[in-house]
């Protein structure tokens, strides 16, 4: 039989979790729902965790965005969708996404496209570019950024031929 968890135990477990890694409010609420805690208890625990700065959705969003772009090679759209699913406020999403360094963002997409280009089978350049665009769109990059990177890659390849 499962032992009932009280408010203090929930707080201590969640605080320990938050001390180890960045978590958002929604992740903590989901955990407490699984523990079948009363909604009023959940709200008090969340308020306390927020007050004591264990939970900070903006800080979480910054870390999340940086990780997803750098390590998972995601584009803005995919990151934004993930933040939305974690119920991060739209104003926080916008602020954090606006802070993305444009150069670093392009430095993620260029090698990704270059690598993908090697593995794509295409009859002509048009077909190749279509497949690259579809690939980058699926990663959450916007069409204008993709075009920018494809044009640069084509110029690079042209110069390599000489």
- Which residues make Cβ contacts (< 8 Å) with residue 148, sequence separation at least 6? 106
Q: Write down the mean pLDDT value for the chain.
A: 90
How much is the pTM?
Answer: 0.85
Instruction: Please write the tens of the pLDDT for every residue from 7-16.
Output: 999 999 999 9
First-last CA distance in the chain: 74
Domain residue limits at 18:
7-51
Pair (67, 92) in one structural domain: yes
Pair (107, 86) in one structural domain: no
88: in domain: yes
1: in domain: no
- In eight-state DSSP terms, residue 128 is H
Q: How far apart are CA 53 and CA 115, in angstroms?
A: 41
Q: How far apart are CA 89 and CA 73, in angstroms?
A: 23
2: in domain: no
**How many structural domains comprise the chain?**
3
116: in domain: yes
43: in domain: yes
Instruction: Please write the tens of the pLDDT for every residue from 19-44.
Output: 999 999 999 999 999 999 999 999 99
Q: What six digits make up the tokens of 61?
A: 């969003």
Pair (81, 122) in one structural domain: no
């Amino acid at each position: 039989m499962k032992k009932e968890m009280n408010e203090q135990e929930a707080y201590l477990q969640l605080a320990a979790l938050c001390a180890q890694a960045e978590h958002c409010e929604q992740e903590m609420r989901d955990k407490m729902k699984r523990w079948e805690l009363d909604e009023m208890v959940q709200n008090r625990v969340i308020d306390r965790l927020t007050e004591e700065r264990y939970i900070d959705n903006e800080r979480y969003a910054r870390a999340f965005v940086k990780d997803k772009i750098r390590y998972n090679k995601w584009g803005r759209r995919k990151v934004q969708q993930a933040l939305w699913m974690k119920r991060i406020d739209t104003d926080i999403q916008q602020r954090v996404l606006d802070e993305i360094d444009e150069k670093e963002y392009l430095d993620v997409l260029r090698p990704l496209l270059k690598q993908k280009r090697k593995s794509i089978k295409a009859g002509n350049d048009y077909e190749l570019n279509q497949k690259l665009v579809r690939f980058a769109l699926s990663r959450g990059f916007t069409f204008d950024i993709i075009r920018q990177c494809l044009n640069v890659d084509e110029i690079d390849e042209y110069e390599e031929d000489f």
